[in-house]
Structure 1
Amino acid sequence: MTRIASFFAKFVLVLSATLLLPSAASAERIKDIGGFQGLRSNQLTGYGIVVGLAGTGDDSLEYATIAMKGVATRFGMTLPPGINPATKNAAAVLVTADLPAMSKPGQRIDVTVSAIGKAKSLRGGTLIMMPLLGADGQIYAMAQGNLAVGGLGVEGRDGSTTTVNIPSVGRIAGGASVERLVATGFEQSPYLTFNLAQADLTTALRVADAINQQTGQQIASASDAVSVLIRAPSDVNQRVVLMGAIENMMVTPAEAPARVIVNARTGTVVINGAVRISPAAVSHGSLTVRVQEAPTVVQPAPFSKGQTAVEERSAIEIQQEPVSAFVARGASLSEIVQSINAIGASPSDLAAILEALKQAGALTADLVIL
């Protein structure tokens, strides 16, 4: 048996064993925490025209006029000067799509069609054939088809309107045909690069260790907190087997860093399980100031030639609730929540307390304010 054949046989066994072994309680598949470099989707976009609308399209948008003339030119038609073909039965649109990794010519992908003018609804429209371009300006797909619109817009003769959802955006399932293959380059490089979704040195080292242990060879090494370099065989089929085996290997990611997320707009506070608080005393109280305005109207005496006046009357009330306090002693997540809930702190009060603990050096966590 040659070395290449032996190498291929080992990875077939690794893949089979990986799929049959039960997963650990806290372990995750490597494919769920990252992906191989080059195997990603690409964004496509294009400009087109939707026709067949029931009077809900663009009225006189110049972009729609140009597009309609371009469509007529494709079929050898030349419109006379001064003729404006952009009626309310057509609309200028932008078309977007995601080109999945490894897409081959002839495969179908979904497209989203959005009006860019004053079109009220794209319901019942048909997208005329148009190209979808990538970031490099090359054509990667051609789109055409009937739109499926989830929104609805109705207008009465008196000018009243009713709109449900967004009728100016539609979707065509399988509305584009792939015309060009996106080169990934992973089949020529001597190394495969696996990138983590979240940068973490510990997790990168664990991924490399898991690959080396389950393949029985020192083929993987962590180059930084995101990337793991994997020495790969030159044969493409063996590379695919290796990648499939790696994706299904189990690894335990490192614990996330201690972090507190505060959304000041919604009052939402999220604390992960790694947050700890060193001994500290917290005092919490609230002060309420209420101002009530009760203006009264003063009428002049009869035949006094006086004028009616408004007399301002204000009542100011100050109310201060008793100050509550608690002592935090190396509290865990559950203890933090119980202590703060016991004193009746609102989400905004909780954010203020955590920020004060951070400033005092008692909160060992990253405080993120959204």
Structure 2
Amino acid sequence: ARGYGSATALDARTVQVRVPSGNSSQVRFLADIQNMEVNVTPQDAKVVINSRTGSVVMNREVTLDSCAVAQGNLSVTVNRQLNVNQPNTPFGGGQTVVTPQTQIDLRQSGGSLQSVRSSANLNSVVRALNALGATPMDLMSILQSMQSAGCLRAKLEII
């Protein structure tokens, strides 16, 4: 059963298929499904902040560009470096791998201007600010300023 009516979308993640009768037809049908190319449109980067509770929800597409941040008595320094690991033996078949290393430094006194390097993980920055006791207003102000400066690569929605 190929073509119209052989597959039905049950929800956004589930597709129900009608498998043809006969072992050889079933095997061929399942092989066709396994080899099927599915193009998924990438999701837009988005951060949603609940202004009442201070909850911050973001998807995995959110990234940061380099910027400097200071808010009241809170300061955060985020440094992210890329390390290159190469195999010792040139003919051993190993592959060169690039691995990120992120270091977060938190301070609660003297809101001096702090640097945030490109591609730092916004989730880590928000967790660090929450651990310091940043208020929902602090979080909103910092993220809005980062977006205005072009550092936050995401749509910011405050509810």
Q: What is the TM-score when the length of structure 2 is the normalising length?
A: 0.50
Instruction: Choose between structure 1 and 2 for higher RCO, CA contacts under 8 A separated by at least 6 residues.
Output: 2
Larger of the two Rg values belongs to structure: 1
Q: What is the TM-score when the length of structure 1 is the normalising length?
A: 0.24
